[in-house]
Amino acid sequence: MSLFSKSSRRGILPGFGLTLGVTLLYFVIIVALPLLAMLYKSVNLGWADFWTIVSSERALATYRITVGAAALATAFNALFGVLLAWVLVRYQFPGRRVLDAVVDLPFALPTAVAGLALVTVFSTNGWFGQYLEPLGVKVAYAPLGIALAMMFTSIPFVIRTVQPVLEDVATDVEEAARSLGASNWQIFSRIIWPAIFPAFIAGCSLSFARSLGEFGAIVFISGNLPFETEVMSLLVFIRLDEYDYPAAAALATVMLVTAFAMLFITNSIQAWQLRYAERS
């Protein structure tokens, strides 16, 4: 109690005890307890069993496919994100507000709906698939489809992290550089890029983290073939379906630990970005 009795330091507003109590209780019941229950299940497996499950051939294949597709999706979103942030911040054109709103659609649209739409567009007879497949580009029921689904569901991350920073880049510095004879490329690479880089990296890591865990959009488009188009989240789901609960717990724990590692990395990058912004 003595820890919380220094009320003078907290000011005169009421509700500290109430909000602290509600927040902790809710967090423990809704978030912490389920996470701990799963980790407990995983720990109970013992190290040897855990290792056998998470290092099986099929599991290793899902890591490779998931990370590869997520990297491809993030690379695309990195380019697309910078382009869109640039266009939305720097240019005035008819439809700019609409474009600004449409960019958030992948976050608002349920992943199952996105998956259904993408598989239909890119299937053999689909609007895009009918032209792509004769060229030998197979998207639906192929690894490329997984990357596409990941890409779609994480489009807004890079845009929304870079956009506010780009708005804050002072144009007078650019004008000064221009009047000193700097080329457009020099202005971009020496002034703008260093300013938006931390936000860009933060956006990329958010996009990558989201892609690693994506499920809804991928089940529709991937074809779900073991060793070929099976991602981590899907293997967890399959193990559950087979009532192989220990394997589901172990694989889900790998995903959880990966997600926490990504969270740590992203938070560190954002802290760096904050220091960077304060310094400049």
Partner 1 sequence: MQNAVNPAVPATLQSPRHGRPPSRAVHWLLIASAILLSMLFIGVPMLVIFTYAFRGGVAVYLSQITQPATLHAIWLTVLTALVVVPINMLFGICVAWLVTRFRFPGRQLLITFVEIPFSVSPIVAGVTYLFLYGSQGLLGPLLDSYDIKIMFTVPAIFLVSLFVTSPFVARELIPLMQAQGSEDEEAAITLGATGLQTFFYVTLPNIRWALLYGAVLCNARVMGEFGAVSVVSGAIRGQTNTLPLQIELLFNDYNVTGAFAASSTLALIAVVTLVLKAILERKQGG
Q: Which residues from 132-151 bind partner 1, rule CB under 8 A?
A: 151
Binding piece for partner 1, criterion CB under 8 A, among 52-60, 135-143, 195-203, 256-264: 256-264
E strand or H helix that includes residue 148: helix 143-153
- Measure the CA–CA gap between 94 and 116, rounded to whole angstroms: 31
Binding piece for partner 1, criterion CB under 8 A, among 56-64, 137-145, 169-177, 189-197: 169-177
Rounded-to-5 percentages of helix, strand, coil across the chain: 80, 0, 20
Mask of contacts with partner 1, 223-252, x by CB under 8 A? ----------x--xx--x----x--xx--x
DSSP state of 141: T
Task: Work out whether 67 is an interface residue with partner 1 (CB under 8 A).
Answer: no
Number of residues that bind partner 1 (CB under 8 A): 102
Q: Provide the token pair at 244.
A: 């192989």
Binding piece for partner 1, criterion CB under 8 A, among 49-57, 130-138, 193-201, 215-223: 215-223
User: For the chain, what is the total number of helices (H) and then of strands (E)?
Assistant: 17, 0
Applying CB under 8 A, among 117, 133, 138, 191 the residue interacting with partner 1 is 117
Q: In sequence order, what are the residues at sequence separation of 6 or more whose Cβ sits closer than 8 angstroms to the Cβ of residue 205?
A: 262, 265, 266, 269
Task: Work out whether 80 is an interface residue with partner 1 (CB under 8 A).
Answer: yes
Binding piece for partner 1, criterion CB under 8 A, among 8-16, 57-65, 138-146, 196-204: 8-16
Mask of contacts with partner 1, 85-104, x by CB under 8 A? -xxxxxxxx-x-x-x-xxxx
Binding piece for partner 1, criterion CB under 8 A, among 49-57, 135-143, 195-203, 216-224: 216-224
Q: Give the rounded distance of the alpha carbon of 249 from its chain centre.
A: 22
Applying CB under 8 A, among 43, 60, 113, 277 the residue interacting with partner 1 is 113
For residue 59, the minimal CB distance to partner 1 (Å) is 14
- Measure the CA–CA gap between 237 and 11, rounded to whole angstroms: 50
Applying CB under 8 A, among 56, 58, 71, 128 the residue interacting with partner 1 is 128
Q: Provide the token pair at 71.
A: 């990297």
Of 71 and 116, which CB lies nearer to partner 1 in the complex structure? 116
**157 in Cβ contact with 207 (< 8 Å):** yes
Of 112, 139, 113, 114, the C-alpha closest to 124 is 139
